[in-house]
A and B are shown apart, each in its own frame.
Chain A
Amino acid sequence: MLQEESDLSLIIAQIVQKLKGSNLYAQLERQAWGSWEKRILKSLNSMCTELSIPLARKRPVGEQKELLNKWNEMGTDEPDLSLFRPVYAPKDFLEVLINLRNPNYENGDSLSFRTHLGLIQVPLKVKDIPELKECFAELGLNTGQLGIDDSTQVPPELFENEHVRIGQKVLAEQDSAAAQQYIRQGSPTALRAELWALILNISSQPEDILYYEQLKMNVIQHDLLVDSLIYKDVKLTASNDDYYFVFEDYLYQVLLCFSRDTSVLGHFAYNSASPPKSYIRGKLGLEEYAVFYPPNGVIPFHGFSMYVAPLCFLYHEPYKLYQIFREMYVRFFFRLHSISSHPSGIVSLCLLFETLLQTYLPQLFYHLREIGAQPLRISFKWMVRAFSGYLATDQLLLLWDRILGYNSLEILAVLAAAVFAFRAVNLMEVTSLAAAEAVLADLSTLKVMPLLQIFLFATVT
Chain B
Amino acid sequence: MSRVPVPCHVKGTVTLQVGDVRTSQGRPGVLVIDVTFPSVSPFELQEITFKNYYTAFLSIRVRQHASTHSPAKWVTCLRDYCLMPDPHSEEGAQEYVSLFKHQMLCDMTRVLELRLILRQPSPLWLSFTVEELQIYQQGPKSPSMTFPKWLSHPVPCEQPIPLLEGLPDPSRVSSEVQQMWALTEMIRASNTSTRIGRFDVDGCYDLNLLSYT
Given the interface contacts A106-B126, A214-B197, A341-B90, does A222 sit within 8 Å of B205 by beta carbon? yes
Contacting A at CB under 8 A, from B164-213, are 195, 197-201, 204-213
Is the pair A25, B90 in contact by a Cβ cutoff of 8 Å?
yes
| A217-244 interface code vs B (CB 8 A; 1 in, 0 out) | 0100010000000000000000000000
Known: A21-B131, A38-B212, A278-B207. A222 touches B200 (CB 8 A): yes
- In the complex, whether B115 has a CB less than 8 A from a CB of chain A is no
How far in angstroms is the closest Cβ of chain B from A173? 28
Q: Which residues of B contact A (CB under 8 A)?
A: 53-54, 85-86, 88-91, 93-94, 123-127, 129, 131, 195, 197-201, 204-213
> Which 10 residue pairs spanning A and B have beta carbons closest together?
A295-B199, A125-B89, A55-B207, A25-B94, A56-B207, A281-B206, A278-B207, A125-B91, A41-B210, A277-B211
CB distance from A300 to the nearest CB of B (A): 15
Chain A residues near B195 (CB-CB < 8 A): 262-263, 265
- Candidate in A41, A125, A284 with the most chain B CB atoms within 10 angstroms: A125
Shortest Cβ distance from A44 into B: residue: B210
Complex Cα distance, B207 from A265, in Å, reads 19
Could you say which interface size class chain A belongs to?
35 or more
In the docked arrangement, what's the CA distance between A276 and B204, Å? 18
A218–B204 CA distance with the chains assembled, in angstroms:
12
A: residues with CB less than 8 A from B are: 21-26, 38, 41, 44-45, 48-49, 54-58, 102-106, 114, 122-125, 211, 214, 218, 222, 260-263, 265, 276-281, 284, 288-293, 295, 341
Contacts of B94 in A (CB 8 A): 23-26
Contacts of A261 in B (CB 8 A): 197
**Minimum C-beta distance from A407 to chain B (A):** 19
Expressed in whole angstroms, the Cα–Cα distance for A350 and B93 within the complex equals 20
CB <8 Å contact, A55 and B93: no
Once the chains are docked, how many angstroms separate the CA of A454 from the CA of B129? 44
In the complex formed, the residue of A with least CB distance to B94 is A25
Report which of B85, B90, B197 forms a contact with A102, defined as CB distance below 8 A. Answer: B90
In angstroms, Cα B196 to Cα A295, docked, is: 12
9 pairs, A vs B, C-beta closer than 8 Å: A21-B129, A38-B212, A41-B210, A54-B206, A57-B206, A105-B126, A281-B206, A284-B211, A288-B201
